[in-house]
Structure 1
Amino acid sequence: MTERLSDTGRKTILAPLFETGWQMVDDRDAITKTFQFKDFTEAFGWMTQAALWAEKWNHHPEWSNVYKTVTVVLTTHDVDGLSALDAKLARKMDSL
């Protein structure tokens, strides 16, 4: 079962993500990042790769795509906030 991140977990798990450009969402227990790509095809290809991991882990992002820009918001709806799954998917997205 997925659990909401504790204060200690937030410090250790989220800090490295903030160093790569992830930010907390205002008024919500969620993180966000905007990814820029060369063009629409590259952006959509990245989204396809990310979608395969999201489906595998049964943890789906909130995201939008406008041409070469993809904005992602991660939160775990089952716990009404951030969980280790959000950090795991964020790290995967950064590595794609």
Structure 2
Amino acid sequence: MSKLSEQDIEKRLLHFPDWDYYDNAIHAEFEFENFKDCFSAMSRIAFECEALNHHPDWSNTYNILTISLSTHDAKGVTNKDFKLAEAIESIVEPDEE
């Protein structure tokens, strides 16, 4: 998988307003009502990670989930990271109808 240029990353981030690019990765922080909701989202994200065979650097403190995505083999951000970011977004911020 090829590393994306900084210009490509910034362009793609226009579709991911909760995400920022720095330190050669894309980063986001999500706040939930409580620890249980945060952990539940992490569990659902874990299944997506396994399905995509791509795993984030992440942590949580009580109700805050912090995620960093980069493709270690490519030493930077790739399409794989944006695919996982999209899956994460659909879990933490489902479309409201």
TM-score interval (norm. to shorter): 0.7 to 0.9
Count of aligned positions: 91
Q: Deviations over 1:28-81 (max 9, x none)?
A: 210101000010110000000001000111100000011100000000001000
Which structure 1 residue ranges, 4+ long, deviate > 6 Å from structure 2? none
Taking only aligned residues, the RMSD between alpha carbons, in angstroms, comes to 1.4
State the identity %.
35
Aligned partner letter, 2:61? V
Q: Distance in 2 between matches of 1:43 and 1:50?
A: 11
- Is 1:21 the equivalent of 2:10? no
Aligned partner letter, 2:37? E
| Alignment TM-score, normalising by the size of structure 1 | 0.86
Higher relative contact order (CA 8 A, sep 6+): 1
| Alignment TM-score, normalising by the size of structure 2 | 0.86
Q: Distance in 2 between matches of 1:65 and 1:12?
A: 28
Name the counterpart of 1:73.
68
1:20-59 mapped onto 2 (5 Å cutoff): 20-25=17-22, 28-59=23-54
SS at match of 2:55: coil
Q: Distance in 1 between matches of 2:63 and 2:6?
A: 35
Q: Gaps (5+ residues) in structure 1?
A: none
